[in-house]
């Protein structure tokens, strides 16, 4: 399966069958970066904020998933889990939906705008994860240190930070550097561009690699 970072917290996930999911599409005007034109079968939305729910920009008349549930779409299993956008059970920013996807035998998890601290109950409900997409920029979400707690508990093979300050972003959030500094240098992988391809052989279960996409457009 192939994963493409589309900027901010938005990713395009493509199974070998061609089934395509876009997670958390954003409003380019609000975020300050252009959302590439993409077509999808499914759009998942973690919560109804402008930088995560701009589904009208996605082509192909996709199915929208924005709640707790379990779905099988074209052979791709998708699970929506309830969580909170803040540390006070949603009283400040509401709910946040975590989505898990099983594509080509790979378990991916998009944490949305998770704002609550890591807990055994939530982590156990998420379960096994091969690729974890997690916010690290603080202010509106967990920060770098809190994101590292999730990584340590979930122990994914690959973690992809998101929702951090990039050169063109208007949002008042931290850069990715603080998160990167929490890992050993040999575990950081910088990828030119915005796309990476995985299969089951990509994961050895022995360590967590951090993938940083370097795309000047964002």
Q: Report in angstroms the alpha-carbon separations of 213 from 86, 185, 190.
A: 27, 16, 6
Predicted TM-score of the model (pTM): 0.95
Whether 206 shows a pLDDT value over 80: the answer reads no
Count of domains forming the chain: 1
Report helix, strand or coil for 211. Answer: strand
Give per-residue pLDDT as tens, 92-127.
887 999 999 999 999 999 999 999 999 999 999 999
Give per-residue pLDDT as tens, 123-138.
999 999 999 999 999 9
Q: C-alpha angle with apex 121: 120 to 127, nearest 5 degrees?
A: 85
Q: List the CATH number of the domain containing 149.
A: 3.60.15.10
Whether 178 shows a pLDDT value over 90: the answer reads yes
**Nearest by Cα to 137 from 171, 92, 170:** 171
pLDDT more than 90, % of the chain: 83
Confidence of residue 57 (pLDDT cuts 50, 70, 90): confident
Are 176 and 212 in contact by the 8 Å Cβ rule? The answer is: yes
Give per-residue pLDDT as tens, 129-163.
999 999 999 999 999 999 999 999 999 999 999 99
Whether 201 shows a pLDDT value over 80: the answer reads no
Per-residue pLDDT at 212: 96
Domain region containing 127: 2-214
DSSP E strand stretches across the chain: 2-5, 11-14, 20-23, 38-39, 42-44, 58-59, 63-65, 69-73, 76-84, 95-103, 106-110, 131-135, 158-162, 188-192, 195-197, 209-214
Confidence of residue 38 (pLDDT cuts 50, 70, 90): very high
Residue range 81-98: mean pLDDT, rounded: 86
- Lowest mean pLDDT: which of 16-20, 35-39, 65-69, 92-96? 92-96
């Amino acid at each position: 399966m192939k994963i493409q970072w589309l900027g901010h917290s938005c990713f395009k996930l493509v199974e070998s069958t061609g089934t395509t999911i876009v997670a958390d599409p954003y409003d380019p005007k609000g975020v300050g970066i252009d959302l590439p034109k993409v077509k999808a079968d499914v759009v998942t939305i973690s919560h109804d904020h402008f930088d995560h729910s701009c589904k009208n920009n996605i082509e192909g008349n996709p199915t929208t998933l924005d709640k707790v549930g379990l779905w099988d779409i074209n052979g791709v299993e998708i699970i929506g889990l309830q969580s909170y956008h803040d540390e006070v059970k949603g009283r400040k920013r509401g709910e946040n939906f975590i989505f898990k996807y099983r594509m080509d035998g790979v378990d991916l998890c998009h944490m949305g705008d998770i704002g609550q601290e890591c807990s055994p109950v939530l982590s156990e409900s998420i379960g096994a994860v091969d690729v974890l997409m997690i916010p690290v920029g603080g202010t509106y979400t967990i920060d770098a240190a809190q994101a590292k707690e999730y990584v340590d508990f979930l122990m994914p093979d690959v973690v992809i930070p998101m929702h951090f300050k990039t050169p063109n972003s208007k949002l008042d959030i931290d850069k990715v550097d603080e998160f990167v500094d929490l890992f050993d240098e040999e575990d950081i992988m910088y990828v030119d561009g915005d796309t990476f391809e995985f299969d089951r052989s990509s994961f050895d279960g022995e360590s967590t690699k951090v993938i940083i996409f370097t795309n000047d457009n964002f």
